[in-house]
Structure 1
Amino acid sequence: MMLMSLLLVLSLERLITKDSHWHIETYATKYRQLLVNNKWLTEDSSSAYLYVSMLLPPIILGVIEYWLLGAFLTFIEQSLVLFICVGCPALRATYKCFLNAADRGDLQACSMYTDQLGHCGTPNESDGTATTEGKSFGQHLTWLNYQHYAAVMLWFIAFGAPGALFYSLSRSTTEAMCGKNHPLKESAGRLMFALDYIPVRITAFGMLMMGHFSRALPEWLKHALQFDISAYDVLTKISSKAEMLTPEEREAQAKNAAVEPKVLVKLAKRNVIFLLVITSALTLIGSLA
């Protein structure tokens, strides 16, 4: 069932342009507003309130699946939840705008779109802009592709729709708190560090399998058990080793800023196929339902 849901949702996500009603951000924002209006989650709340509020919707969803829905209705519900959680229309739009700016040779616009992607790092590492972090558009794109596709898929494979919902809701809340410099920002960051620790290393392993294995493997082994490095750094460092630009591509990159992002996007797409192949194998041997 999980494999069928993944194949169905990923196919539809590529074919259909989703509006805001089909994306988790809409419902995550309404849920946070509900928590704030009822004073269940305020700036004075403890970290425990944050963690419980993130777990509550997935737990309710899991109870509904277990007690109320049969196999067929569960398949429909899981596919629907996964479709809402996976992907990012805003990211896709920014990527298209970046490619258009690169084709025009508008480097200033390319820099603007790179900053527009942003990234919520720790207070000592980032102010949320790409320029401060010194990362390229392609590296940011790799990270956001992981957050909106690979990580959601892995949480779905591990825990079904409740897992995908938990990760997506936590990610959205962390980004919202980072943007507003919320007092619970660090607590949300610790939650995401825990949620990303294993998935980001699985994703990075997939990238080295689909890219330059011998060049990326030492980097993956170096960070495999490290707890003092962010998931963002793990992924971007390993992906840059797994798919380095050729001399011809580096020469083309000097003229067209879209070369590196296109190369890394191809790597990310191959990684998604790798995850689907592994999921298929686990399904065939009976490890997944």
Structure 2
Amino acid sequence: MQLLAILLAYSLERSVTLSRNLHWRRIVLRWQQWQAKKTQVGSDSQEKIAEWRQHLLGEVVWAVLPALIITFVVVLVDSFLLSFVIGVLALLAAMQCGQARAAYKAYLEAANSGDTGATAEQLRQIRRASGHQEAAPVHDLLLWIHLRYYFAPLLYYVLFGIFGVLVYATLRDMKHPRNKAWDQLQLIVHWLPTRIMSFGFLMVGNFGKALPVWLSSVGNTPQNNFAALSKVANAAEQLEPSHEDDVTSTALTTVALMKRNLLFFIVLLAVMTIAGWF
């Protein structure tokens, strides 16, 4: 069932435009906003809840409540069809990154037309869509977008089902306090998807060159996930532009690498499903 849900979700994501009200980011942010307004003025218990939500743990618990409720209903009903439909919808809601796709297309158009100003602006839009705070090359940003919106939801759905993909999307998209504890939580959440996705680069790229880099990323636990993903990808495939004026081939090469990587894991999942491991 999981394989069919993943294949259907990825197919629909390419061909169907989901209403913004069904994007999981929109659902989570509305939920948090409603909760904040409800607890601003109220009884003593509501004030205590508001005070508890000032801490990261309380904020996370309140944010993941929609995921918990949906999972509870699916388990309670215990219907194969309902689980399949909700699984597809959960993946679709978590994979929505229209801003990044539009910015990427505009980036290629601007670069091909030689408009350096528009190219730089679209690169900023891609960085904003990626959620990465610091400036980075386009291929690194595309890798990070693919990890956050495609590979990580797939992985957490395979491992933990509907609950996994919705909780991950919640932690990715929720309004959060900017502090060291939140950064540590993001490091933990993205650690496994980064290492597994980068392992795929070994299989579809230069294995001998990328293997030592991948092993280093696994052993050095404090390493930044963004940097780890970039280093392995650059070792598996030549992503750096050959000259300064070449601003499109590196993006196209990165997208091709990510497509091969995703296909590898889908085939692997299909083989494991046939073997009865899933």
| TM-score (norm: length of structure 2) | 0.89
Q: CA deviation digits over 1:158-201, x for unaligned, max 9? A: 1111111111111012xx44xxxx3x543332222111111110
Q: CA deviation digits over 1:112-171, x for unaligned, max 9? A: 2222223656xxxxxx242xxxx2011111111110000010001111111111111110
Change (3 A) 1:25 1:104: same
Give the structure 1 partner of residue 45 of structure 2.
none
Q: CA deviation digits over 1:197-247, x for unaligned, max 9? A: 11110000012211111111110001113221121111111111111149x
In the alignment, the residues of structure 1 paired with residue 93 and residue 131 of structure 2 have an alpha-carbon distance, to the nearest angstrom, of 22
Matched, 1:165 2:157: no
Counterpart of 2:117 (choices 92, 108, 111) is 108
* Identical-pair percentage: 27
Give 1:133-172 correspondences, 5 Å limit: 135-172=136-173
Q: Which amino acid aligns with 1:250?
A: S
In the alignment, the residues of structure 1 paired with residue 263 and residue 66 of structure 2 have an alpha-carbon distance, to the nearest angstrom, of 30
Give the structure 2 partner of residue 263 of structure 1.
253
In the alignment, the residues of structure 1 paired with residue 179 and residue 161 of structure 2 have an alpha-carbon distance, to the nearest angstrom, of 27
Counterpart of 1:210 (choices 189, 194, 204) is 204
Counterpart of 1:284 (choices 261, 274, 277) is 274
In the alignment, the residues of structure 2 paired with residue 66 and residue 155 of structure 1 have an alpha-carbon distance, to the nearest angstrom, of 18
Give the structure 1 partner of residue 233 of structure 2.
239
Give the structure 1 partner of residue 38 of structure 2.
38
Change (3 A) 1:149 1:211: same
Of stretches 95-104 and 108-117 in structure 1, the one that deviates more from structure 2 is: 108-117
Deviation at 1:46, TM superposition (A): 1.2
Change (3 A) 1:154 1:98: same
1:38 alignment partner, SS class = helix
Matched, 1:250 2:242: yes
- Aligned length in residues: 267
Give the structure 2 partner of residue 93 of structure 1.
102
In the alignment, the residues of structure 1 paired with residue 262 and residue 228 of structure 2 have an alpha-carbon distance, to the nearest angstrom, of 18
Q: RMSD between aligned alpha carbons? A: 2.1
Moved over 3 A (4+): 39-44, 118-121
Q: Which runs of 5+ in 2 are unaligned?
A: 40-48
| TM-score (norm: length of structure 1) | 0.85
Q: Which runs of 5+ in 1 are unaligned?
A: 122-127
